[in-house]
Chain A
Amino acid sequence: MTRKKTLSVIGKPLRKVDAMAKCAGETVYADDLNLPRTIYAKLLRSPHPHARILGINAARALKLDGVFAVLTGEDLPQKFGIMPSTEDEEALAVDKVRYAGDPVAAVAAASETLAEKALGYIDVEYEVLKPILSIEEALASTEESQRIHTWNRRANVQKAVSLEFGDVEGGFAGSDHIFEGTYFYQGNTHLPMEQYCAVGFYGPDDKLTLWSSTQTPHYLHRALAKVLKLPASRIRVIATPVGGGFGGKSDPFSHEICVAKLSMITRRPVKITLSREETFYVHRGRHPVKMWAKTGVKSDGTIQAMQYKTFLDGGGYSSYGLASVYYTGALQTVTYKVPAYKFEGVRVFTNKPACGPKRGHGTPQPRFAEEIQMDEIAENLDIDPLELRLKQLVEANSVTINGLQISSCGLRECIEKVAERAEWKKKFRKLPFGHGIGFAASAYITGAGLPIYWNNMPHSGVQIKLDRSGGVTIFCGSSDIGQGSDSILVYAIAEEFGIDPADIRVVSADTDLTPVDLGSYSSRGTIMTGNATIQACGKLKPLLLEAASEALEVPADDLEFADGQVRSASLPSRGISFAECVVKAEGKHGTLGATGSYWPPKNPREFKGSGVGPTPAYTFSTAIVELHCDSETGEIKIDKVWIAHDCGKAFNPLLVEGQTEGSVYMALGEALMEEQIFRKNGLHKIPSILEYKSPTTLETPEIETILVETIDPEGPYGAKEAGQGPLLPVVPAVSNAVFDAIGVRIHEIPITPDKILRALEGRLKAVSIPQFEFPAPLKWQPGEGVKVEQKS
């Protein structure tokens, strides 16, 4: 069988498979589901950020006509959480609430209005406790009585880590210059257009179906089984089309468990749609992180050693926090050669909504620090910031000091291209006061190397069914969150079988019907489902070719799949249609179907915490931001952003550009205005889409996207991720551009106009770093066992 040399579908700007339905308003989101006999649920939320529950009495609510059921914590006592080692959440608080907005009871009633009313008839007696609202307070509250949770070892410290790679002390000792700085990356939320919604139905067959706007139907399936104490085999989770996820719909949530349980009690479909305000309380967004960064360099700017301390404000629960804290130290080594590296990180509990993964998960914060520090090193040593980086870039097929294997690497090309398009040399340090340009680079993962819970099964599975009509159906557990994962499956099949994408159907994200895919997180979709799909097609091809070979009397190794045909490559007029080929193959071999699986390459590292960082392939991004800053008002206007992204291979350049532009937009919001902030009494300060400032189209500048293709050996057709990485360089590039414009360094985001004025007057205080004794570092070096596998 000859491999096609040219691609006919991959790389083409095709329409997304669900685009027309979305444009026409016909996509059925979770809130659009209207099952017969549906009743409606609402959650009663705690007004206190930290309190003991002394008693709950729902008797008055249950007396209301039209109220079907009320749940409280004791109905669902089983703890759960996305990370198996830190399961500390309850569907409804059992004896303690940990943030203002923590659910304490759930009502199911005949209407949403009635359910809302019934909440007012549930009597909860609280003993109010002093809330812990900052990293400093959390670290200072070492008394047992001040604990938010009791399972963790040190009071209000969820996790503290310390890792050391290479000779850090020697690296700093051998440096000509040492640069140190402190930084703060404010927390912010995902702000998806679609609020959370779920519908649960426990049917007469004693089986539960849950429809939910979720990025991770498989993990939700497991959590439901655990908390509801039902066999997983009797639970079906269907992820409805997700109207924006960005990481915020990756945990199993209280509202999902509650509608399931309420349906088990009432035997009616139960629906819940959270309000915008509640969406701010569910959160799981970007961690506020305080950082201390130190870099030692030779006088020519080459890095000798790097050291980071990070302090993460985790909120009331663990969520993905265990991974988040490691991610704040994982990828600093993946852009420039760092011969020695030390990282210490700590995530604390505070009485605020839990933080979790948001686009870039734990890596945008240290990247912000690293890229500003690189800019400062360049400034100080009088080296162009691009030159400083170009002289010490990581290379393809290399291993970093912390043992991460880099396969393809287009970082140099990303830097060169973005500089050329933005006319960097003409502008940098040459623009008038108030007008500036800034640069930053970054790296990101294409899918986590390890699953959330330990198992040796594939990370992604697909099943393909061939139909006598010539149609192909693919079944896959991945959930389309707008990024186009359904489309990716279609493009891969169309490419492999040479057929029209319109002849392919996708059934996705339904745990009854589709093989497991771990979900739409960590930018794993394209590489994992794409490879699994190619593998499944590869299993079917010999069957098809054998049938076609017989029918056409052409040797199988001269046959190709192209233009809807199976035909002779040397004599293309000799062929049969794909549909005819399927008919012949089915007659010969019986019903046609195949599965495909994908496992990422084995993690080459073997120490505690080594699961965070490895990936099948790293992507690289660079950004140049040009802006104007009004020194009297402190207002910033972004003129233009140039962004280059090494995506391996653009599966569909339209989708890659869309993801890249979306990342830039989201990054600008984080850089300039978005803040998840709280009042002194622990209440969210601005839980509305009006007062939580997220940029509009009017604040979004022209974005010029440059796609760099490095054809990664592990990626399907060479493809790597595009959904998250391009966010990372934009935020520090804004800060670096502000320095170029008005000569002040801003080490914290969002860069609001008042901070600009303070900085211009020398009144902006340096970010303070808390005192904390980290554990002794775990020392590790890439050993003999770590080599780059040369992939074909």
Chain B
Amino acid sequence: MLRLPEFNYIQPRTLREATKVLADLAPNAMLVAGGTDVYPKMKRGQFAPRHLVSLRGLRELKGIRQTKDGLWIGAGESLTAVSRHRVIAKRLPALAHAAESVSTPQLRNMGTIGGNVLVDTRCNYYDQTFFWRQAVGFCMKKDGQICLVAPGSEKCLAIASSDTAPVLVSLGADVILVSKQGERRVKLEELYRDDGIDYCAKSQDEVLKGLLIPKEALGLRNVYLKLRRRGSFDFPILGVAATMDLDNQGECRHARVVLTAVASAPKVVAEAATLLQGKKITKELIETVADAAAKISHPLDNADLDYWYRKRMAKVFTLRALAQLAGLELVA
């Protein structure tokens, strides 16, 4: 079997202590919460940290509660806890569904929402053992120079693979990041970069403390549709998160569509807002948005199923997500 390499395991007791340790060890340290992605990747040589700083047991990262600003979700809450939380299950079924569609029950019990939001980008050339990556000739994301999916590409094309990220972006969530220097609050979507290696703007000495979903978002219609081969285990090979608000006359006050697994960052489909807001939702309108979604989707041959198929599904899934939120019947 594959063995874990040697490393130092540091278990801080407070967030403050964690940020201090991190500031000291930053370039050679990695954070670990549930460990469901970190440990297998260490076995395969994708991650090779000298130190692991554990976030388990940090009280500051726990809790899901309604505040005057909205809904606070501690980054250290398990995906199971998020998916089962009363308010989330009732008001944010998209988030509950996204959280419970991650991997398997056992891994959701261990894996955290913070870990999922920050989860490493994926690629069939990268998510392999050291033996395999060496045999194929290493890619730029780890140990190599070029992108093996598209050798002409200047940047890594690994895929954004979080289920909860597109939903949280569609809900307009903020993240709270803490370092030795202090705390900052940023829009989650601003945390992501369309670069498979440098996919996250969180600096190495920062800890993701939690997420804040604005109060207004709790009143939005929301949905998450995930494409994958099986009902368990699989990462998304396409995810469509959508939010919508309709007034009493059925006019659209707000609409947002966010895609995952179509690029190295979650992608906001700008047309959802520009075309739908202020209008009555029709099949023609959402078809235009769905076409726009397919247009900005750039699946490549580095995940399950054909890329042309995944691109096509970006349209079908966007159409279905919006129709569902608008209460439109789609007749095939």
Contact = CB atoms under 8 A, between A and B. Distances in A.
B230 A45 contact: no
B132 A273 contact: no
B259 to A, nearest CB: 16
A754 B308 contact: yes
Interface string B214-233: 00000000000001011111
Contacts of A754: 305-306, 308-309
B124 A685 contact: yes
Interface string A74-92: 0000000000000000000
B131 A47 contact: yes
Given A112-B1, A273-B1, A632-B316, A47 B309 contact: no
Given A275-B1, A754-B306, A633 B313 contact: yes
Contacts of B234: 690, 693
A686 interface: yes
Interface in A11-47: 45, 47
B231 A698 contact: yes
Contacts of A53: none
Contacts of B201: none
A275 B129 contact: yes
B274 to A, nearest CB: 26
B28 interface: no
Given A273-B1, A631-B332, A691-B124, 8 more contacts: A275-B1, A275-B129, A632-B316, A696-B230, A696-B231, A696-B232, A696-B233, A754-B309
A695 interface: yes
A43 to B, nearest CB: 11
14 contacts: A100-B135, A112-B1, A195-B1, A277-B131, A633-B313, A673-B230, A681-B136, A687-B132, A688-B128, A693-B304, A695-B230, A696-B233, A698-B232, A753-B305
B134 interface: yes
A233 interface: no
Given A47-B134, A683-B136, A693-B230, A277 B309 contact: no
Contacts of B232: 696, 698
Contacts of B134: 47
Nearest to B316: A632
Chain A CB count within 10 A is highest, among B127, B135, B233, B313, for B135
B304 A691 contact: yes
A700 B279 CA distance: 43
Chain B CB count within 10 A is highest, among A47, A683, A688, A691, for A691
Interface string A668-705: 00000100000101011111101101011011000000
Given A45-B131, A47-B135, A686-B124, A633 B230 contact: no
Nearest to A634: B309
A100 B128 CA distance: 14
Interface in A652-679: 673, 679
Nearest to B135: A47
B332 A753 contact: no
Q: How many interface residues does chain A have, given as a range?
A: 35 or more
Interface in B289-332: 304-306, 308-309, 312-313, 316, 332
Contacts of B3: 112-113, 116
A679 B131 CA distance: 15
A757 B124 contact: no
Interface in B74-106: none
Interface in B192-237: 227, 229-234
A781 interface: no
Interface string B253-279: 000000000000000000000000000
Interface of B: 1-3, 124, 127-129, 131-132, 134-136, 227, 229-234, 304-306, 308-309, 312-313, 316, 332
A64 to B, nearest CB: 16
A679 B305 contact: no
A754 B310 CA distance: 9
Nearest to A197: B1
Contacts of A695: 230
Contacts of A686: 124
Contacts of A113: 3
Contacts of A277: 129, 131-132
Contacts of A48: 135
A752 interface: yes
Contacts of B316: 632-633
A681 B125 CA distance: 13
Interface string A691-726: 101011011000000000000000000000000000
A698 to B, nearest CB: 3
A279 to B, nearest CB: 11
A434 to B, nearest CB: 8
B107 to A, nearest CB: 11
Given A112-B1, A275-B1, A277-B131, A679 B230 contact: no
A116 B6 CA distance: 14
Contacts of B124: 685-686, 691
Nearest to B307: A754
Contacts of A275: 1-2, 129
A445 B309 CA distance: 40
Contacts of B233: 690, 696
B136 A698 contact: no
Given A116-B3, A632-B316, A753 B309 contact: yes
Nearest to A45: B131
Contacts of B136: 679, 681, 683
B332 to A, nearest CB: 6
Contact of B132 (A683, A698, A752): A683
A695 B231 CA distance: 9
A711 to B, nearest CB: 41
A681 B133 CA distance: 12
A396 to B, nearest CB: 42
A402 to B, nearest CB: 40
Contacts of A673: 229-230
B263 to A, nearest CB: 20
A259 to B, nearest CB: 15
A673 B312 CA distance: 19
B309 A757 contact: yes
Nearest to B3: A113
Interface string A99-124: 01000000000001100100000000
Contacts of A691: 124, 127, 304
A500 B104 CA distance: 42
A545 B314 CA distance: 77
A753 B231 CA distance: 15
B332 A632 contact: yes
Nearest to B305: A754
Contacts of B312: 757
Contacts of B332: 631-632
A450 to B, nearest CB: 38
Chain A CB count within 10 A is highest, among B124, B127, B128, B332, for B128
Task: Give the top 9 A-B pairs by smallest Cβ distance, nearest first.
Answer: A47-B135, A698-B231, A754-B309, A754-B306, A693-B229, A696-B232, A113-B3, A632-B316, A696-B230
Contacts of A757: 309, 312
A695 B131 CA distance: 27
A48 to B, nearest CB: 8
A699 B304 contact: no
Nearest to A679: B136
Contacts of A273: 1
A633 B1 CA distance: 38
B45 to A, nearest CB: 11
A362 to B, nearest CB: 27
Nearest to B309: A754
Interface string A715-759: 000000000000000000000000000000000000011100100
Contacts of A45: 131
Contacts of A690: 233-234
Contacts of B306: 754
Contacts of B135: 47-48, 100, 683
A632 B129 CA distance: 36
A99 B134 CA distance: 15
